[in-house]
Amino acid sequence: MTTVLYAILSMSAVVCVAATVVRAVGYARAPLHLRWELYPVPHEAPDRAAHGGSYFEESNWWTREPHCNLRGELTAMFSEILFLKALREFNLRLWWRSYPFHLGLYLLIATAVLVVATAVASLFAPALVAGAVGGTIVGAVRVLYRLTGVVGLALTLIGAGGLLHRRLTDPDLRPYTTPGDIFNLTLFLVALGLVSAGLVLRPAGGPDIASIVAGLLVWDTAIRVPGLLGTGLALSALLAAYIPFTHMSHFVGKYFTYHAVRWDDAANRRGGTIERTLAEYLTYRPTWAAPHVTADGVRTWAEVVTTNPTTGAKR
Amino acid sequence: MKDKDRIDLSDMSRRDGRPLSHVENQDLMPLPAPLDDSARERAWIPLTDQAKNRYECLLDDTCAVSVPKPATKAEEDALVRKFLTGLDKLFTRENNWTFLQPLVLSMEHCAKCQTCAEACHIFEASGRNELYRPTYRSEIMRRLYFKYVKHGGMISAWQHGDIEVNWPLVARLIELAYRCNLCRRCAQTCPIGADNGLVAHELRKVFSQEMGIAAKELHDTGSMPQLKVGSSTGMSAEVVKDNIQFIDEETSERTGITVQTPWDVEGADVLLIHNAGEILAWPENPGAFALILNAAGISWTLSSDIAGYDSVNYGLWYDDAQFARVAVKHAEAAKKLKVGKIVLGECGHAHKALSVIADRVLTGDLNIPRESSMTLLRDIVMSGRLKLDPARNDFPVTLHDPCNLVRLMGVVEPQREVVRAICPQFREMEPHGVDNYCCGGGSGFAIMSGHNFPDWRFHVSGRKKLEQVLNAFGDCLDPSIPKYLCAPCSNCKGQFRDMLAYYGLWEQNKILYGGLVELIVNAMTEVKPGFIEWEWH
């Protein structure tokens, strides 16, 4: 049983990371698209970003160096990531359900990182951990991850329940809700509910999650994981592996929708990298069938766009 | 017919030959005074039996594209196959490198939270008609993507939802792609960054680039004549020159200042490109531009090269190939004259098309700097080169933000600086700036007048903007007070012209619309008073 659990935990972690990377690389390798930004763009100069303005508000803008307001962009990113700003601003009712869910997930991810870090430290630097300073730090971290773990589980469960309830009862959401959507939220409730129940009902002296993680790192199958907790952990791991294959992987997609689309206002300057990239795309051979496009799979984009369809003659 | 609130995604495939939705005036979002009595609102002109028999009118009360009904089942099947082939191409880099990345992101990451719906003026104004919900169209597209592009099986259908593709669905989707202004206000509010406006845009591309189906005003009488004779208006260079000469004479007479428009001046600092619609419909606008630029001592010119005198680029709304062709023509005209920069006149979509979208089309010596006339006008007004008397503009003025210029290009303040400086009774609409609402004529609707489509764009797509305008002038609706709705965009002006007339707001409340340059010339002390004539046009 313990071996099966370890296998699920480790394989799920690998699948989750690999699938996330594959998805992210897929998006990153997509061709540079035509500009499609939406204002406000937060890395604009602060005086312009405040009203949603762009460098097009300056005369002879191309004679100036591109402005990069890193602080503005980071502020926008952090308020979006940490507080789901757009949802709070435009859909407050949903935010009350979605924010606990996401904050809970953040706390659970933080818990996992702290648990693994503590286990690794205990295994590979026992002297350090046993020392006065190290012991105090590790002790504090254990208190911290118990806190983040408990709060994270509670918030995620409350949020998932709230989101599922909204999906099933809101007449605006219901027609757009698929069985998969219901399954996804239910899976969160079941998996994390089992983990919670497993921790609460764990027999006295039974291993906690930190012990299980430490055991996993050295593949110690002697640990007897309680059935309820083990099932919850296995389901949670499978859920983590499943997420990158669904729209729930928007933590990946969102990076690109914001940085590569909404906020991508990079101007094409003569002789620059954008121009070199475009040169390749203009050699692509489209196959659109409408006669006015004059694409036949042989002619390049450059030839197509310099053809006048009203004469049929190339420029 | 099902109640509008219960239109389901699967209804798109219905084969009963009937529209999915019917909009009654009393269902629409209420308007403020003086249009607050819905019982007195104008009735829609019903589609004629001839139109219903001849074209696919399966969506709602109107018809924007006029797709002829296929004669046989075999024809229907062929069109469906063509659609699916086009859909497939839309997700390949060779065919759609232009928008592949944002499209895939929007397909794969929508959380269906409906935040976007609350931002959509069409959905709100229609009385929350399900058909016009931004995600209704996108969800159809998303399900098609997972089923026919990604070849998802049962598990995919379970995860993403299933869909049955047939000719009624494709025919309805063609129309539904033309029930969105592409203003992207919905995308601005999406917590994930999904873009329903882009989905509508890409659907239009499939229909045009693969099936040869587009609104005729955009293609047959839009981008095609522009590439053939130089302007979507059909004006040749000779005709434009004649018209501009007439405008120069008119402007000189009206202002007392001799105005002469320079043509094809090699080495000029500025190549000004107007939307040629201005020359025909609002000649005071190019006249005012000429007067201002001459008075400010700007080195400028117009071009008589093909497309060089018409900044419109309707391909922006439905076809990448047509879009790129026109953009190249604009750049070639500037290159030939060796000008320092292209300045775009008062046309929102032309701004975005040439400055933003074409930025990754124009390379090498075609990459000529492009600038907004809003910026140039702001610099001229603020520099003190013109003697301006704001008292001449002492009437209520509000400013419309063209989506393409503001939310989609970030030119927000220059026009405001001008209006604040010369219009003492300026008041903002709420919301404004990048949070503005579309005029309802965006994405080509302002020039689309087939069948009863104007009824739809005045009752539904323009309704939210109408509410904003009435609220902005709520304290001065009395017809004894002339009011000026400043819309620095030709397409927006076209929509306002038609919509204000439709609701009688000039006759009954003296709300006039116009551009920014007219306000500047009206305030010039060297000009005879009364450049703005307070006459309906």
Q: How many helices (H) and strands (E) does chain B have?
A: 23, 8
Residue B31 to residue B25: CA distance in whole angstroms: 11
Tens-place pLDDT, residues A222-259: 999 999 999 999 999 999 999 999 999 999 999 999 99
B272's tokens: 């000004």
Q: Is B533 touching A (CB cutoff 8 A)?
A: no
The number of C-alpha atoms within 13 Å of B193 and in the hemisphere containing its C-beta is 30
Which residues of B, range 440-499, sit inside 8 Å of A by Cβ?
none
Structure tokens, B61: 């009360």
B414 to chain A: which residues are within 8 Å by CB?
57
Q: How far is CA A44 from the centre of its chain?
A: 25
The token duo for B205 is 């591309």
Residue of B92, B364, B355 lying closest to A306 (CA atoms): B364
Rounded CA gap, A43 and A59, in Å? 19
Cα–Cα dist A271/A156, whole Å: 50
The candidate with the shortest Cα–Cα distance to B320, out of B194, B208, B473, B179, is B208
Asked if A275's CB is within 8 angstroms of B407's CB, the reply is: no
Kindly report the pTM of this predicted structure.
0.96
> Measured over all CA atoms, what is the biggest interatomic distance in chain B, rounded to whole angstroms?
75
Here the tokens at position B137 are 């169209």
The string of pLDDT tens digits covering residues B348-390 is 999 999 999 999 999 999 999 999 999 999 999 999 999 999 9
Whether the ω angle into residue B46 lies within 30 degrees of 0, i.e. cis, is no
Please give the Cα distance from B421 to B384 (Å, whole number): 11
**Pairwise CA distance, residues B334 & B84, whole Å:** 40
Our CA-based measurement puts residue B101 at a distance from the nearest CA of chain A, in whole angstroms, of 6
> Quick one: which of A199, A194, A168, A192 has its CA closest to A101?
A192
Q: Cα(A260)–Cα(B446) distance, rounded to whole angstroms? A: 31
A102 touching B (Cβ < 8 Å): no
Question: Do the Cβ atoms of B111 and A250 come within 8 Å?
Answer: yes
Min Cα–Cα distance to chain A from B367, Å:
7
d(CA A195, CA A111): 14
- What tokens appear for B459 in the block? 């009752």
Q: Does B141 touch chain A (CB under 8 A)?
A: no
Q: How far apart are CA A299 and CA A284, in angstroms?
A: 8
Nearest Cα to Cα of residue B166 among B14, B321, B55: B14
- The answer to whether the CB atoms of B227 and A31 lie below 8 A apart is no
Instruction: Answer whether B296 touches A (CB < 8 Å).
Output: no
Burial of B142 (0-12, 13-18, 19+ CB in 10 A): buried
pLDDT tens digit sequence for B161-220: 999 999 999 999 999 999 999 999 999 999 999 999 999 999 999 999 999 999 999 999
pLDDT tens for B17-43 read: 999 998 889 999 999 999 998 888 899
To the nearest whole Å, the CA of B502 is away from the closest chain A CA by 32
Question: Which chain B residues contact residue A179 at CB under 8 A?
Answer: 158-159
| Six token digits for residue B535 | 């006459």
How many angstroms separate the CA of residue A100 from the nearest CA in chain B?
A: 16
Give pLDDT tens digits along chain B (537 positions).
444 457 999 999 999 999 999 888 999 999 999 999 888 889 999 999 999 999 999 999 999 999 999 999 999 999 999 999 999 999 999 999 999 999 999 999 999 999 999 999 999 999 999 999 999 999 999 999 999 999 999 999 999 999 999 999 999 999 999 999 999 999 999 999 999 999 999 999 999 999 999 999 999 999 999 999 999 999 999 999 999 999 999 999 999 999 999 999 999 999 999 999 999 999 999 999 999 999 999 999 999 999 999 999 999 999 999 999 999 999 999 999 999 999 999 999 999 999 999 999 999 999 999 999 999 999 999 999 999 999 999 999 999 999 999 999 999 999 999 999 999 999 999 999 999 999 999 999 999 999 999 999 999 999 999 999 999 999 999 999 999 999 999 999 999 999 999 999 999 999 999 999 999 999 999 999 999 999 988
CB A240 within 8 A of CB A12: yes
CA-closest candidate to residue B528, choices B246, B291, B245, B261: B291
Name chain A contacts of B369, Cβ cutoff 8 Å.
Answer: 60, 62
CA distance A51 to A46: 9
**Distance in angstroms (rounded) separating the CA atoms of residues B395 and A11:** 72
Alpha helix stretches (DSSP H) within B432-489: 453-456, 463-472
Any B CB within 8 A of A20 CB? no
Question: Nearest-CA neighbor of B64 among B167, B157, B176?
Answer: B176
Closest Cβ opposite residue B224 in set A30, A40, A310: A310
Give buried/exposed letters for B173-191 (b at 16+ CB in 10 A, else e): bbbbbbbbbbbbbbbbbbb
| CA-based torsion, A221, A222, A227, A230: positive or negative | negative
B236 touching A (Cβ < 8 Å): no
Choosing among B83, B84, B95, which should be mutated to test the A contact, i.e. which has the most A CBs within 10 A?
B95
Helices A92-124, A132-169: axis angle to 10 degrees equals: 150
- Provide the 8-state DSSP code for B426: E
Token couple for B162: 């299933």
Distances (CA, A) of B387 to B250, B420, B530: 22, 16, 16
Which run of H or E residues covers position B420? helix B413-422
Cβ atoms of residues B516 and B486 within 8 Å: yes
Q: Quick one: CA dihedral A300, B97, B173, B358, positive or negative? A: negative
Contacts of B225 (CB under 8 A, 6+ apart): A310, B231, B232, B233, B234
| Secondary structure, 3-state, A5-31 | HHHHHHHHHHHHHHHHHHHHHHHHCCC
CA quadruple B268, B489, B402, B33: dihedral positive or negative? positive
Give B248 to chain A, closest Cα distance, Å.
Answer: 27
Q: Which residue has the tokens 């919900």?
A: B133
Measure the CA angle with vertex B447, ends B442 and B453; round to 5°: 90
Q: How far is B5 from chain A (nearest CA, A)?
A: 9
